[in-house]
Structure 1
Amino acid sequence: MNNVKIPAWPFHLLAWFCPPALYEGIEGDLIQQFECDVEEAGEKIARRRLFLNTLRFFRPEIIFRNKFSTQLIDTVMFTNYLIIAYRNVLKNKTFSAINIIGLSIGLASCLLIFQFVSFELSYDKFNDKFERTYRITNDRFQNGKLIQHGTIMYPTIGGTMHKDYEEIEEHTRLMPGGEMNVKINDKLFRGDVCHFVDEHFLSVFSFPLLAGQRATALKDRYSVVLTEKVAKKYFEVNDGDYASLIGKTIYWGLDPQPYTVTGICGDVPANSHIQFNVLVSYATLIRPDNTGADDSWQWSDMRHYLVLKPGVDYKKLESKFPAFSERYFKGDKVSGSVEKFYLQPLREAHLYSDYEYDIAKKASGKAVWAMLVVAIFILFIAWVNYINLTTSRALERAKEVGLRKVMGALKSQLIKQFIFESMLLSVIAFLIALLLAQLLQTSFNQLVGTELSLWKVIGEADAFTIAVLCTVLIAGILLSGFYPAFVLSSYQPVTVLKGRFIRSSSGNLMRKALVVFQFTASVALITSTLIVSKQIKFMNETDLGIDLGQILVVRNPERTPYDSTFISRVESFKDRLTQLDGVTSAATSGPLPGRRLGRTFDIRLKDGAGTEHYTMSQFQCDYDFFDTYKIPLLAGRKFLASDHNVNWDKINTVVVNRNATALLGFERPQDIVGRQMTFWGRDWNVVGVVGDFHQESLRSPMEPLFFIPAYGRNATSIRLSTNDYQQLIPAIESAFKEFFPDNIFEYFFIEDRYKQQYSDEDRFAKVVNIFTVLAIIVSCLGLIGLSSYAAVQRTKEIGIRKVLGASVANILSMLSLDFVKLVAVAIVLSIPIAYYFMQNWLATYAYKIALSWTVFILPIVLILSITIVTVSSQIIKVALSNPSRSLRHE
């Protein structure tokens, strides 16, 4: 070592102006900078320290420094820590880069997913009465079995509960109105979603009203409130000049009655579970000749919301509902089913809703929290990398620590130094993560299907959410910095400086445990990703019992009168379509595959031995429907043209599916043909039985179903035999305009619409796939650092083994075995974790894949291959080096 003479005057200067802690730290820094001989430097420093302490004895005012001196000293100390940290970053560029990149990826992933999770958890919180608002849900039981679990119920429920229970402050009711077909002057507008709501709706919910009176806007019949976006579309209006639209009229469908604009509200927030473009007064539904929309106990198409008084326990109120059911429904005498009512907090409507006929904008709470867990895993993996890489450099930093202690540095000072280094790297990584998150924002928004902004989410997040996020980040930084700081500052200077430093077994065990954690999380994520992908593939490829391929659907012609000519007009339209090259067949139907069907509850088998009532779903279609969708006939016949009639009362034939025959007690499909079913006040002849098919996604089981030969303003399904859509679609549009003028031509492919039911699964799978890859990358970064450093530390051993005849393969297997063992332990731990969580996730599907052992093989092979390749790439570099150079390595 070169002996460098260190001048004394800097230390004399320090003695006059600085405390011992400071000049000790700077002395150590000078020694590190000059790299002088340790023993010689130690002797010189010891002599100088004695002299400096003597000077302090004669300068007592140094001990009692004023406030300015303290601040100056703190500043100098901070600067000293910063300089040392900066030098360590530059001195160990590879390890610093791995740490910063890993932390940046982890933090960026956490920030992106935090945006999404925070947004999903913010649903409906803009409502002033959010914490006190509940929606009424109900379960219906028939013959002792649950037949419906939903939010759909009778018009009378909310108002009657409000009257019966003093705990309720106010209520509102809503009925979905579907998509409007609006005409204003000569312009047609279609596709805007409307709801019929009562005058209390704008009081219960805090949608901003830009024009009109909140208390009266929805009180009178034929009153409408438009959102800002729709108002601009319907009328020429300047921003802010919405008062001028009050009193304007619109026409809906063929209704000659004008609807009056009585209010303009701001566009519905994206984080509202209720979405709409137009609100129509509920009073419009209540006609003098039919008051069922107001007082019926059987018309089931309404949704109800309650606002409870402050301090009311909704569970206690809910406990009174059985008496409510018995009082008004008397068992099943009124509705044909036993009714049980419940309350769901508004905060759960978006993420925790498994209800049928739900109009809420829904997402999976499990998926949202799973994404957050993935983000935290990635962040923890990055922190674990930092801890492992920092402590793995223990031998190198031990000499520095020993020298500092000889010079009088305190353990607390060393801990501060190492924590400061951790914080510096974390701050750099956080700044890079912010940049990455901003650069990836657009792509991430497309991935999750939501317009998010990091700054907007943070600005709108509540104090609790921000506190949790900051706590997690700060705790991670402190924990990842504290453990290495504690380990490195604990070395005994005598042992280290004599060259007898040996890593502790506890430190090695901790590093191994952290590596196991990293790869346990990674393998669990890979396994979960594979299972999600297999389930989605299963759902997309399962035989649905119905052929959805190459079926184009033309939206229903609403602006066409349903009169005696309607059926012949529809038939002519279908004939014209089948004459086109590339069209095989065409059919009309009310519902379409991929949507929830309505139910009929009070069904009986005429002349049956029992008196039981049954429930089935209903489907209105024409006689070409079964052929167009290739639904197999099991018994009897399909519908004929003669089964249709423009007079509803003269229709009396039905076709049922296989599940319906089983529900009614028939073992063979042909046994029910010719029998009669009674519902809707008359008898229906069963003429045929068709096979079961998946009307909805594979989350739901196939239900008993009956078909009615009914025409209406229904959509037309067209089976195509060509992929040349450029010429065929304009020809279909021309035919549509010929038979249904004054209607907007719109179309879509039914297979695409059906698969939209799996949009949440697709989104979840894509997000988990991407962030699983990131987790693997971060884990591999740590593995690269650890294996590289392990190889360097054993350079002399490798050289000796090569001299003694060991091959590169022998050395590679010897050094990589330790890492492979750790990964093997991680694999064993990850399998039950992945199995448990995936089993719970799959439980939400009626039809799902089986979790066999083969599902876990690919993740095991993949992670072992990644580990071997990663470790080998670092070890081979050292193993191939010249042994003579290895033996000279210190």
Structure 2
Amino acid sequence: MTSKPPPPGWALRFLRSICPDHLAEEIEGDLIQKFESDIRRLGLSRARRRFEWNAMRYLRPGIVLRNKLTYSLINTIMLRNYLIIAFRNVTKNKVFSLINIFGLGTGLAVCLLIFQFVSHELSFDTFFDNADRIYRVTNDRFQNGKLIQHGTITYPTIGPTMAKDYPEIEMYTRLMPGGDMNVKIDDKIFRGENCHFVDEHFLSVFSFPLLAGDRTSALKEPYALVLTESVAKKYYGVTNGDYTSILGKTLYWGLDKQPYKISGVCADNPDNSHITFDVLVSYATLIRPEEHGADDSWTWSDFRHYVVLKPGIDYKAFESKFPAFSDRYFKGDKVSGSVEKFYLQPLKKAHLYSDYEYDIARTASGKAVWAMLIVAIFILVIAWINYINLTTSRALDRAKEVGLRKVMGALKTQLVRQFIFESVLISLIAFVLALVITWVSQSSFNEIIGSPLSLLKVLGEMQAPSIIIAALVLVSGVLLAGFYPAFVLSSYQPATVLKGKFQHSSGGKFMRKALVVFQFTASATLITGTLIVSKQLKFMNEADLGIAIRNIMLVDPPELTAWDSTFMTRVENYKDELTKINGVVSAATSSRIPGNRLGRTFGLRLAEQPSDTHYTMSFFGADHNFMDTYDVPLVAGRKFLPTDHKFNFGDINSVIINQNAVELLGIANAQEAIGKEILDGDLKVHIVGVVGNFHQESLKKPMEPIVFVPTYSTYAETSIKIKTSDPKPVIAQVEAVFKKFFPNNAFQYSFLEDRYNRQYNDEDRFAKVVTIFTMLGIIISCLGLIGLSSYTAVQRTKEIGIRKALGASRLGIISLLSADFIKLVAVAIVLSFPLAYMAMEQWLSNYPYKIALQWTLFLLPAVTILVIAFATISFQIFKTAKTNPADTLKYE
């Protein structure tokens, strides 16, 4: 018969009778839940007695406190034991621990370094207010049905007209590059500051921090300047941060008699801004009373436009309205001579995804950035795989420990926690090592990539979601790398391992082999990719450009010299005196130098062709010494003569074209081109010569049709060909001659080969980083192979002893035991071939001039990997093979 149930609230009242109210309320839930369970299992009477006994025994205030302290003490003791056991295992097996920590630490360091670079590249322009709503206007031009220009340059009217026509646009700004400034302040001359003409909306669209002046009005008036912080210090010596003190001060730009007034000072451009400048000049300065082209021209193509869309506007849907805009204002090709198509590019993509011509932005290759991130992930995964292989290779040593601990009553969950704790401990030590490696190598890494990075700086640039994702990836990797060995080691059966019958399942063997295959597949792919990248870079650096760029000294133009009737004679005398210097071969001036992007002229045709025919060519102004100075081969006709130069540009009647231009104009051959007349609007010129094609820009871009025009200019650099083993005396004499003829100009020089090769900076940086980290990846992979070969050697110790006792040689034993590993590496190499081929074929598709993917480019990395792997395995097995068979069999 069931006893009468207790009255409501009995349990709580009873608890309060033996302990304070707050403790009774804290523990009531657990006890009552147990009490209700006991009623169902034992009946009410027995459950009530058990409840009273438990309450009296465990819940008096002193006992409660003691139990809580006991649980805390037990947890502390367990954590201390975990730490002691982990420390003993690390110090007991110093070599394995060192390899484990070094491999994992190196992998994490590589990941941290590349993470800095990738995060910095992805952070470009994210600091601007409304960065998600800022877009730049890009433009494709088509002529005769062909794309002739894919760029960021458009006409001055585009931004204002779009803002007028489309309510989706909240704000716009326009920009025109002004080049380097020649500045006079009192009797001082400054040169080299990069300036842009920008309208009054620029500082509202782009939220560069303003240190002095008003953001909305600083660039409104003509002849107004906003300086960066560094330039303000350079020009006016501001040292106390009081930039308002220079507002209203004036300076003179070039030969302009009009003073320019300082109206603002902004902070220096952040490293992650695609727009860079030293000085901003008000756009109103360009709009003169006698010439409004900078404001209303539909053909002057040298302007950049940015628009801010209103919140919620889909830019792709808005972009679909642009064809109607083109039809409305350009009327096909009747206005600009080409069919115009406009697009929008999100501001955040301007840095990494720019394949545009005439781009003034700081750009990089998005593919290269993501490729480096993949390299980092590969190396980090290889490091984690190493940890798994090295840990499981020590399974024989830990198996007996597991067996004994299980016999003594240890639970599997406790063993799992122990091994995971060891994994976390080793990972923390490796992470500290990674931080040290990162700190030590930071400056060298920064020098390679060309950016002043640091972990703190990158974390400051990153947004919270990115930091969380990166942290989760690292933590997840550590836990996953620790879980597998933990469950493998904790699953051994005591009866089996204590009898010495220790072996792994076939699944475990397959897992370790699969991990090794993955490691070496990644390593072989990286080696192949590194070799192909270096071959392509070497090919571009050493290719025949069709023009001589070595030993060419460049002197900046004499911009502070007036253009008058004496200028051409002065330049001729200047060049003649330069050639009298011992070591100077020749000298020439030109509007552009090799490596510069040339301007284009769009409305060319032969006089004999219909009036509606239009051709586009690149335009190159050069003097009569240019072809000889640069060894440009003459194919037909003649080179320029001194008499071809005219003071008035409209009087010029002689031009030279290259072979691409001959083909574009539809002329049968170079010889037939001589004497033909070319029309450029109202200007008529005759072809007097044809020269060979040459790479005006890098081999990343195709050679274009070029028309050479005999010109002199105060903005033309001087190219001086020298031949001497010691250029310093030549440079000093060149400076003296320059100052003699152009006394009011600052003398600055450089060497063409260095400037030309800067076009390959991205490729060179990518090649260096991938090469270094590929080598580290191979080292880490070999560490993993050491672990697996060591495990195999231990497992087959008895077999090795028996074979040696029966007369087997060390070489035979090494060959026998290494065969399985070489097979794994061979499989990895075979798998790497298609991966490397597809990746590098895609990468090379960006280059019009490239190397062929020959089989030797894949064979060399394969042989390299095999040799490294065999040497690594043989060294480890040799240590076991050289032991005395008697000792080996006794050990077994």
Specify the TM-score bucket, using the shorter chain as the normaliser. over 0.9
1:647 is displaced (CA, Å) by: 1.2
What SS does structure 2 have at the residue aligned with 1:775?
A: helix
Q: Are 1:500 and 2:501 matched, yes or no?
A: yes
What SS does structure 2 have at the residue aligned with 1:206?
A: coil
Which consecutive aligned stretches of 4+ in structure 1 deviate over 6 angstroms post-superposition? 56-65
What is the aligned partner in structure 2 of residue 377 from structure 1? 378
Q: Are 1:406 and 2:407 matched, yes or no?
A: yes
What SS does structure 2 have at the residue aligned with 1:113?
A: helix
What is the aligned partner in structure 2 of residue 866 from structure 1? 868
Conserved? CA contact 1:134–1:305, under 8 Å? yes
What is the aligned partner in structure 1 of residue 180 from structure 2? 179
What is the aligned partner in structure 1 of residue 783 from structure 2? 781
Amino acid corresponding to residue 599 of structure 1 in structure 2: R
Distance 2:124 2:539 in 1: 32
**Higher deviation after alignment, 285-294 or 874-883:** 874-883
Cα deviation per residue 1:200-223 (whole Å; 9 max; x = unaligned)? 000000101101111100000000
Distance 2:655 2:68 in 1: 94
Q: Are 1:717 and 2:710 matched, yes or no?
A: no
Conserved? CA contact 1:250–1:258, under 8 Å? yes
- State percent identity of aligned pairs: 66
Distance 2:360 2:693 in 1: 26
Cα deviation per residue 1:846-881 (whole Å; 9 max; x = unaligned)? 111111111111101111110111111111122122
1:609 is displaced (CA, Å) by: 6.0
1:303-382 aligned at under 5 Å gives the runs 303-382=304-383
Conserved? CA contact 1:394–1:503, under 8 Å? no
What is the aligned partner in structure 2 of residue 672 from structure 1? 673
What is the aligned partner in structure 2 of residue 8 from structure 1? none
What is the aligned partner in structure 2 of residue 160 from structure 1? 161
Distance 1:384 1:248 in 2: 65
Name the CA shift for 1:303/1:609 in 2 (closer, same or farther; >3 Å). closer
Distance 1:251 1:775 in 2: 57
Conserved? CA contact 1:173–1:303, under 8 Å? yes
What SS does structure 2 have at the residue aligned with 1:600?
A: strand
1:65 is displaced (CA, Å) by: 7.7
Conserved? CA contact 1:547–1:630, under 8 Å? yes
Q: Are 1:693 and 2:731 matched, yes or no?
A: no
What is the aligned partner in structure 1 of residue 755 from structure 2? 753
Conserved? CA contact 2:393–2:787, under 8 Å? no
Conserved? CA contact 2:120–2:461, under 8 Å? no
What is the aligned partner in structure 2 of residue 514 from structure 1? 515
821, 826, 845: which one pairs with 1:843? Answer: 845
Amino acid corresponding to residue 891 of structure 2 in structure 1: H
1:603-752 aligned at under 5 Å gives the runs 603-608=604-609, 611-713=612-714, 714-752=716-754
Distance 1:642 1:81 in 2: 92
1:794 is displaced (CA, Å) by: 1.9
757, 764, 767: which one pairs with 1:765? Answer: 767
Cα deviation per residue 1:197-244 (whole Å; 9 max; x = unaligned)? 000000000101101111100000000000000000001223221101
Cα deviation per residue 1:616-653 (whole Å; 9 max; x = unaligned)? 10000001100110001111111111110111111121
Distance 1:263 1:520 in 2: 57
Conserved? CA contact 2:650–2:683, under 8 Å? no
Amino acid corresponding to residue 637 of structure 1 in structure 2: R
1:58 is displaced (CA, Å) by: 13
1:426 is displaced (CA, Å) by: 0.1
Amino acid corresponding to residue 555 of structure 2 in structure 1: V
1:432 is displaced (CA, Å) by: 1.1
Conserved? CA contact 2:617–2:706, under 8 Å? yes
Cα deviation per residue 1:263-302 (whole Å; 9 max; x = unaligned)? 0101111110000000000000001111000000000000
**Higher deviation after alignment, 497-506 or 695-704:** 497-506
Amino acid corresponding to residue 103 of structure 2 in structure 1: G
Amino acid corresponding to residue 734 of structure 2 in structure 1: I
TM-score, scaled relative to structure 2: 0.92
Conserved? CA contact 1:527–1:859, under 8 Å? yes
Amino acid corresponding to residue 656 of structure 1 in structure 2: I
Conserved? CA contact 1:620–1:711, under 8 Å? yes
Cα deviation per residue 1:560-591 (whole Å; 9 max; x = unaligned)? 01100000000000100111111111111001
1:59 is displaced (CA, Å) by: 7.6
Conserved? CA contact 1:652–1:684, under 8 Å? yes
Distance 2:651 2:414 in 1: 94
Conserved? CA contact 2:393–2:790, under 8 Å? no
**Higher deviation after alignment, 503-512 or 92-101:** 92-101
What SS does structure 2 have at the residue aligned with 1:558?
A: coil
Distance 2:159 2:889 in 1: 86
TM-score, scaled relative to structure 1: 0.92
Distance 2:798 2:501 in 1: 17
What SS does structure 2 have at the residue aligned with 1:646?
A: coil
1:751 is displaced (CA, Å) by: 1.0
Amino acid corresponding to residue 772 of structure 1 in structure 2: T
What SS does structure 1 have at the residue aligned with 2:788?
A: helix
Conserved? CA contact 2:565–2:647, under 8 Å? yes
Cα deviation per residue 1:283-334 (whole Å; 9 max; x = unaligned)? 0000111100000000000000000001110001001101100111011010
Cα deviation per residue 1:686-741 (whole Å; 9 max; x = unaligned)? 11100000000111000011000010011111111212212111111111111010
What is the aligned partner in structure 2 of residue 818 from structure 1? 820
Amino acid corresponding to residue 796 of structure 1 in structure 2: K
Distance 2:55 2:508 in 1: 42
Conserved? CA contact 1:143–1:613, under 8 Å? yes
Distance 2:712 2:847 in 1: 34
1:179-258 aligned at under 5 Å gives the runs 179-258=180-259
Cα deviation per residue 1:792-845 (whole Å; 9 max; x = unaligned)? 332221111011111111101011111111110110111111111111111111
What SS does structure 1 have at the residue aligned with 2:765?
A: helix
Task: Give aligned pairs, total.
Answer: 835
1:408 is displaced (CA, Å) by: 2.1
What is the aligned partner in structure 2 of residue 33 from structure 1? none
What is the aligned partner in structure 2 of residue 429 from structure 1? 430
Q: Are 1:92 and 2:126 matched, yes or no?
A: no
Distance 2:864 2:216 in 1: 63
Conserved? CA contact 1:193–1:277, under 8 Å? yes
1:66 is displaced (CA, Å) by: 4.4
What SS does structure 1 have at the residue aligned with 2:313?
A: coil
What is the aligned partner in structure 1 of residue 5 from structure 2? none
**Higher deviation after alignment, 502-511 or 78-87:** 78-87
Conserved? CA contact 2:384–2:477, under 8 Å? yes
Conserved? CA contact 2:229–2:266, under 8 Å? yes
Distance 2:186 2:483 in 1: 72
Cα deviation per residue 1:5-29 (whole Å; 9 max; x = unaligned)? xxxxxxxxxxxxxxxxxxxxxxxxx
Cα deviation per residue 1:433-490 (whole Å; 9 max; x = unaligned)? 1111111111111111110111121233111111111011101001000111111112
Q: Are 1:478 and 2:479 matched, yes or no?
A: yes
Structure 2: which 5+ residue stretches go unaligned?
1-53
Amino acid corresponding to residue 781 of structure 2 in structure 1: S
What SS does structure 2 have at the residue aligned with 1:888?
A: helix
1:406 is displaced (CA, Å) by: 2.0
Conserved? CA contact 1:130–1:347, under 8 Å? yes
What is the aligned partner in structure 2 of residue 4 from structure 1? none
Structure 1: which 5+ residue stretches go unaligned?
1-55
Distance 2:331 2:520 in 1: 59
Q: Are 1:591 and 2:599 matched, yes or no?
A: no
Distance 1:784 1:863 in 2: 14
Cα deviation per residue 1:115-156 (whole Å; 9 max; x = unaligned)? 111111111111011010000001001111110000001000
Distance 1:383 1:504 in 2: 22
What SS does structure 1 have at the residue aligned with 2:814?
A: helix
Distance 2:790 2:402 in 1: 23
What is the aligned partner in structure 2 of residue 448 from structure 1? 449
Q: Output the aligned Cα RMSD.
A: 1.6
Amino acid corresponding to residue 751 of structure 2 in structure 1: F
1:91 is displaced (CA, Å) by: 1.8
Amino acid corresponding to residue 708 of structure 2 in structure 1: F
Amino acid corresponding to residue 248 of structure 1 in structure 2: K
Distance 1:753 1:89 in 2: 53
What SS does structure 1 have at the residue aligned with 2:177?
A: strand
What is the aligned partner in structure 1 of residue 42 from structure 2? none
What SS does structure 2 have at the residue aligned with 1:620?
A: strand
Amino acid corresponding to residue 383 of structure 2 in structure 1: A
Conserved? CA contact 1:545–1:693, under 8 Å? yes
